[in-house]
Amino acid sequence: MNLRETLDEAARTITRRDAEVLAQHVLARDRAWLMAHPDAALEEPDLIRLRALVTRRAAEEPLQYLTGVQEFFGRPFEVSADVLIPRPETEQLVEAVLAWVRGRSLASPQILDVGAGSGAIAVTLALELPQAHVTAVDLSPAALRVARRNGEQLGAGVRWLESNLLAALGPEPDGFDIIASNPPYIPLSDKPTLAHEVLAHEPHLALFAGDDGLEVYRRLIPQAHHALRRHGLLAMEFGFGQREALRELFAAQTSPAGDALWSEPKFLDDYAGIPRVVLAERI
Binding-site residues: 115-119, 138, 182-185
Distance CA 50, CA 55 (A): 9
Residues of the binding site for substrate = 182-185
CA 171 to chain centroid, in Å, comes to 27
C-alpha closest to that of 123 among 149, 92, 162 = 149
User: What is the widest separation between alpha-carbon atoms in the chain?
Assistant: 76
Residues of the binding site for S-adenosyl-L-methionine = 115-119, 138, 182
C-alpha closest to that of 238 among 160, 167, 182, 189 = 182
Distance CA 256, CA 1 (A): 74
